[in-house]
Chains A and B, each alone.
Chain A
Amino acid sequence: MNKLVKNAAGRMIPEIINGDKAIPFKGVGKHIPERKKFAPKIPSNIFYPADGNKQINNIKEALIKSGIRDGMTISTHHHFRNGDLIANLVFDIAHELGIKDLRWFPSASFPCHEHLIRHLENGTISHIEGSMNGPLGRFCSEGKMKKTAVLRSHGGRYQAIQDGEVQIDIAVIGAACADPFGNANGLNGSSASGLLGFALADSQYADKVIVVTDNLVQFPCVPWQIQGNYVDFVVEVEKVGIPEKIVSGTTEITKSPDRLLIAEMTAKFCEITDIIHDGFSFQAGAGGTALSISIFFAEIMRKKGIKARFARGGSNKYLVQMLEEGLIEYILDGQTFDLAGVESMKNNPNHVWTSPFTSYNYHSKGNFAGMVDVVILGATEVDLNFNANVVTHSDGYLLHGLGGWQNCLFSKTVILPIPLFRDRIPVIVDDVTTLCGPGELIDVIVTERGIAINPLRKDLIEKTKNSTLPLKTLKELKAEAERICGKPENPKLSENIVAAIKWVDGTVIDIVKQVKNED
């Protein structure tokens, strides 16, 4: 029987996860490994074609040449988002070859990967370590996955690879453009998505690396976001992704009056507290509320005649407009959400592509996240101590990945603009269903009915003291939500652990339990 131990956040964590010893969360900045980094095998030129042509007929052949067998770890990446065709294809082939118990290690999953449920059911895939979105999350929450899922942040994924915690046997990297040597980028071609940063660690550390493209160009493919010197095989296919689902058009600014109000309040807060100052930096996500916040930021910057030194993307046309208007000097882009972003990255030297290594990696000599003045994030739940959940809903279902969320918490000011309740479900709770981020790193909660500042941020409290902002405590906000919605019951969960949530340093901050099915 797997013994449970209490971690530093007070959560009960199993000692062993999927056969490996788990390190319980020790507190922010407390876990310091004293080992060397994991290193891949040393390759030699003599095993690779002297003319540099590593092209193989098809993915099946490449997988066989890579030595695919039971129990291996296979990684794919989410640059093609909901238009990805690669991951499904890889596991269809693995199934056809009769391979079992693969660990899928994606940088993120999307609803299009619902297809893989059949391979989780037929034993081709034993479990997923990555994000768990929509249908896959539901499958996992109902206890149907053979082993325990592991969720990591983008930075945590890099750390796990570097620490050797996850050793990738075969990395399959889909690219919008590549040459036969394996140089690849995400900029050119019909499946262009901007950059390939999420595959960087895989290319460097995986035992075998396969690049798959539908736009094979003669050497050299420049810029080489993925360097061919790391690549074993190159495969040309008809289509790596569905373009209209890769860059899903521009996410529109929210029309919801509640969300607009929250966005406006957030921008106002940043104005009053001088977070918006000349030369500042910010990061906002891609959702409708976050987009509106960028637009309110732009208004304030124009009014004050100031500019931002840099903005961290997810980029989109609104951020690109700000760059072109001169409101932002640089976009440091982690992923590109629309074609305007892709074009800008291609043509504007100030629109720079980054990777989880530069932005988020915990076991490196610093990263960009801490330099950002303000980051705007979401959450499904927040407790009275500002601890937040971003992966499960209050009914216990695991429906979202961590993305870069945990990594961004290290920015100077972290603001969560969230509605006080969603379809009757209050967002501020006594105890978050799943702990993803410690409250000590979360500074401000902005809801449509009031703003709560973490008592640790005395500076922000001081700056807003005489303002017209509707400041409230989380306790007051929670009471208000419960007056309107009623107090929810606790979710009905069994004792079976279906997923582990890693902190950025590789320790386990919380686990997810199986949801009891009522009907």
Chain B
Amino acid sequence: MITTSGNRGDTVRSDCHIALTIHKTGGIKINIKSKVKSLFGKSINDLCSIILAHFDIENAFLEIDDQGALPFVIAARLEHAIKQQVNTSKEFLLPFYNDNYSFSTTDKIRRSRLYLPGNNPKLMINAGIYGADGIILDLEDSVAPEKKQEARYLVRNALRGLDFGSAERMVRINQLPMGLEDLKFIIPHQVQLVLIPKCENSDQIIQVDEEIKEISQCNNHQILLMPIVESSLGVINAFEIAKASKNVVAIAIGLEDYTADLGVQRTEAGTESFFARSAVVNAAKAAGIQAIDSVFSDVANINALTDTVQKSKAMGFEGMGCIHPRQVKIIHQYFAPDISEIEKAQKIVLAFEKAERQNLSVVSLGSKMIDPPVVKRALKTISQAESLLLIEKEWRKNHE
């Protein structure tokens, strides 16, 4: 029996294709065809030998067609090829990258989340260098049905080994129930946030949350959730979804599926989804979490993206999805508070602090009284501007 894993072909880069036949006798034979063979042939051979030994395979013929795959890719492909023939609970895990032990925080800024197809290693390797707030290794729509299983190994290894910089490490699992199986491949490997697609009710959140508790053996786990509502029913239930677990930190809307559900075209103006987007923002705010807009998929059209981000921010969204790194900069620029917002917020915060010092119950700016929610928003704007380095931490000095 031959099992295979991975990708090959003229356009494939940083990936490999593995064909494995396990025999009863004859020892191990590894046949490497690689564009980097003279520089990494021994390293590839050694890694494969270690993995075969790890799974107690003593006789096998292994053919690797390599296009410069990194070790985490080769290991994922080989483990997947092995597990189609060997029934074992063992895993072959490469060491964690040092910085990948951390958890995320509820109020992390989530302006941009960059989608990466879960079975394409080439795009994963440098994903951390573009400054996106979040990186999504996607197991759902970007992975073909017959590639779902091999993508799980790849995503698991990427979560452990790759340096994603300051980005939040996210995975979009498959629609339930398949998504529950995905969790086994990501929860023990320091995923920070799980996106739950096509969410329609709070039960689905609870199922995922329970499964995470089960896998992590921890009732009070720190893995965050971001449900995506992508249907009319999901939109109607947005509030119960947002409130379903304390681990839900944001709720996103997916407009491709939503417009399909309505049976209408998705337009640039977005009139058809105005209600749904507003409903999601409203539900998120009511639940005290972040509202995240849909993906903007026209990569070449930077002007339309700019326009969309501005509208999105005006509606109350705090971030949106992107599929190309060049979108990140625009999204960050236009979701950030602008200068007039910051200046106004600074005045309000100073007035608030002054009132506090003087034990006044009412905050006023000039002759105007400032309501507590306005103060709260101003404080949030300032803390965001500080963390984005738009203003200095000591900005108060300049206002004395």
Interface residues of A (CB under 8 A from B): 257-258, 260-261, 394-396, 422-425, 448-449, 484-486, 488-489, 491-492, 515, 518
Contact with A423, one of B41, B67, B130 (Cβ below 8 angstroms): B67
- Asked if A260 contacts B326 (CB within 8 A), the reply is yes
- Asked if B38 contacts A491 (CB within 8 A), the reply is yes
The complex places the Cα of A257 from the Cα of B35 at a distance, in Å, of 23
Interface centre among B36, B39, B67, B126, by most A CB within 10 Å?
B39
Choose the segment among B68-76, B240-248, B375-383 that binds chain A (4+ C-beta atoms closer than 8 Å): B68-76
The complex places the Cα of A492 from the Cα of B41 at a distance, in Å, of 12
- Asked if B126 contacts A423 (CB within 8 A), the reply is no
The complex places the Cα of A47 from the Cα of B105 at a distance, in Å, of 89
Any A CB within 8 A of the CB of B324? yes
If A257-B326, A425-B36 touch, does A489 touch B42 (CB 8 Å cutoff)? yes
If A257-B130, A424-B14 touch, does A518 touch B39 (CB 8 Å cutoff)? no
The complex places the Cα of A143 from the Cα of B130 at a distance, in Å, of 44
- Asked if B14 contacts A423 (CB within 8 A), the reply is yes
- B163 CB to nearest chain A CB (Å): 8
If A395-B38, A489-B42 touch, does A257 touch B325 (CB 8 Å cutoff)? yes
Interface centre among A261, A424, A488, by most B CB within 10 Å?
A424
If A395-B39, A491-B39, A518-B38 touch, does A486 touch B130 (CB 8 Å cutoff)? no
Nearest first, the 3 A-B pairs at minimum CB distance are A423-B68, A488-B39, A257-B325
A-B contact pairs, 18 of them (CB 8 A): A257-B126, A257-B326, A258-B129, A260-B326, A261-B130, A423-B14, A424-B36, A424-B39, A424-B40, A424-B70, A425-B68, A448-B129, A485-B70, A486-B43, A486-B71, A488-B39, A515-B38, A518-B41
If A423-B67, A424-B70, A486-B71 touch, does A258 touch B126 (CB 8 Å cutoff)? yes
The complex places the Cα of A309 from the Cα of B125 at a distance, in Å, of 40
The complex places the Cα of A325 from the Cα of B357 at a distance, in Å, of 58
If A261-B325, A448-B126, A449-B129 touch, does A492 touch B70 (CB 8 Å cutoff)? no
- Asked if A489 contacts B13 (CB within 8 A), the reply is no
The complex places the Cα of A492 from the Cα of B38 at a distance, in Å, of 7
Interface string of B28-45 (1 = CB under 8 A from A): 000000011111111100
Chain B contacts of A485 at CB under 8 A?
Answer: 70
Chain A contacts of B40 at CB under 8 A?
Answer: 424, 486, 488-489
Residue of A nearest to B69 (CB): A424
Contact with A489, one of B14, B38, B163 (Cβ below 8 angstroms): B38
Chain A contacts of B70 at CB under 8 A?
Answer: 424, 484-486
- B335 CB to nearest chain A CB (Å): 19
- B136 CB to nearest chain A CB (Å): 16
Residue of B nearest to A468 (CB): B389
Report the contact-size class of chain B (Cβ under 8 Å from the partner).
20 to 34
Chain A contacts of B71 at CB under 8 A?
Answer: 486
- Asked if A423 contacts B13 (CB within 8 A), the reply is yes
Chain B contacts of A515 at CB under 8 A?
Answer: 38
Residue of A nearest to B66 (CB): A424
Chain A contacts of B37 at CB under 8 A?
Answer: 518
Extra inter-chain contacts (16) besides given A489-B39, A518-B41, CB under 8 Å: A257-B126, A257-B324, A258-B129, A396-B38, A423-B13, A423-B14, A423-B68, A425-B36, A425-B39, A486-B70, A488-B36, A488-B39, A489-B38, A515-B38, A518-B37, A518-B38
- B124 CB to nearest chain A CB (Å): 11
- A376 CB to nearest chain B CB (Å): 20
Interface string of B44-71 (1 = CB under 8 A from A): 0000000000000000000000011111
Chain B contacts of A484 at CB under 8 A?
Answer: 70, 125, 163
Residue of B nearest to A424 (CB): B68
The complex places the Cα of A425 from the Cα of B39 at a distance, in Å, of 8
The complex places the Cα of A515 from the Cα of B125 at a distance, in Å, of 30
Residue of A nearest to B300 (CB): A255
The complex places the Cα of A492 from the Cα of B35 at a distance, in Å, of 14
The complex places the Cα of A223 from the Cα of B70 at a distance, in Å, of 55
Interface string of B302-331 (1 = CB under 8 A from A): 000000000000000000000011100000
Interface centre among B13, B36, B42, B324, by most A CB within 10 Å?
B36
The complex places the Cα of A448 from the Cα of B14 at a distance, in Å, of 17
Residue of A nearest to B36 (CB): A424
The complex places the Cα of A396 from the Cα of B38 at a distance, in Å, of 9
Residue of B nearest to A260 (CB): B326
Residue of A nearest to B128 (CB): A449
- B349 CB to nearest chain A CB (Å): 26
The complex places the Cα of A448 from the Cα of B128 at a distance, in Å, of 10
Residue of A nearest to B34 (CB): A424
- B394 CB to nearest chain A CB (Å): 16
Residue of A nearest to B14 (CB): A423
Chain A contacts of B36 at CB under 8 A?
Answer: 395, 423-425, 488
Chain B contacts of A395 at CB under 8 A?
Answer: 36, 38-39
- B263 CB to nearest chain A CB (Å): 34
Chain B contacts of A423 at CB under 8 A?
Answer: 13-14, 35-36, 67-68
The complex places the Cα of A518 from the Cα of B71 at a distance, in Å, of 22
If A423-B13, A424-B69 touch, does A261 touch B129 (CB 8 Å cutoff)? yes
- A512 CB to nearest chain B CB (Å): 15
Chain A contacts of B126 at CB under 8 A?
Answer: 257-258, 448
Residue of A nearest to B39 (CB): A488
Residue of B nearest to A484 (CB): B70
Interface string of B266-290 (1 = CB under 8 A from A): 0000000000000000000000000
The complex places the Cα of A266 from the Cα of B394 at a distance, in Å, of 31
Chain B contacts of A260 at CB under 8 A?
Answer: 325-326
Chain B contacts of A394 at CB under 8 A?
Answer: 39
- A491 CB to nearest chain B CB (Å): 6
- B31 CB to nearest chain A CB (Å): 11
- B255 CB to nearest chain A CB (Å): 24
Residue of A nearest to B131 (CB): A261
Residue of A nearest to B122 (CB): A423
Chain B contacts of A396 at CB under 8 A?
Answer: 38
The complex places the Cα of A153 from the Cα of B148 at a distance, in Å, of 51
Chain A contacts of B39 at CB under 8 A?
Answer: 394-395, 424-425, 488-489, 491
The complex places the Cα of A489 from the Cα of B41 at a distance, in Å, of 8
- A442 CB to nearest chain B CB (Å): 23
The complex places the Cα of A392 from the Cα of B39 at a distance, in Å, of 14
Chain A contacts of B41 at CB under 8 A?
Answer: 489, 518
- A135 CB to nearest chain B CB (Å): 16
- B308 CB to nearest chain A CB (Å): 20
Residue of A nearest to B299 (CB): A255
The complex places the Cα of A425 from the Cα of B35 at a distance, in Å, of 10
Chain B contacts of A486 at CB under 8 A?
Answer: 40, 43, 70-71
